[in-house]
Structure 1
Amino acid sequence: MPQLNPNPWLFIMIVSWLTFSLIIQPKLLSFMPTNTPSEKISMSAKSSSWPWPWT
């Protein structure tokens, strides 16, 4: 049964995992976000109740 033979697929999986974790991931993590989060002052607007005609 060829699907039980891990010979080619194990090597491909390990090489792709190492490529991602050692080369691609540090490059992606080094990018700075363009819009850094900032502290926003929450302004709560005072709303009046709706004048329902049936109350």
Structure 2
Amino acid sequence: MPQLNPNPWFFILLTSWLTYSMIVQPKLLTFISTNPPSNMIQTTQTTTPWTWPWT
């Protein structure tokens, strides 16, 4: 069964991942995000305790 021979497929896998990580990924990371995170002020919410009608 020739598909079980890892010799050509491992090289193809390694080459494709190296291409992706060295060329494609840095180009994609330079794009500006369309929805940048905003600096929100964190507010603490006060909660009121529940009044149970049978107590």
Q: TM-score range by the shorter chain?
A: 0.5 to 0.7
Q: TM-score, normalised by structure 2?
A: 0.60
Aligned residues: 54
Q: TM-score, normalised by structure 1?
A: 0.60
The CA RMSD measured in Å over matched residues stands at 2.2
Q: Distance in 2 between matches of 1:21 and 1:41?
A: 36
Unmatched runs of 5 consecutive residues or more in structure 1: 44-55
Regions of 4+ moved over 3 Å: 40-43
User: Equivalences for 1:1-55 in 2 at 5 Å?
Assistant: 1-2=1-2, 3=4, 5-40=5-40
Using the aligned pairs only, state the percent identity. 62
Tell me, what secondary structure is at the counterpart of 1:13? helix
Q: Which residue of 1 aligns with 2:49?
A: none
Tell me, what secondary structure is at the counterpart of 1:32? coil
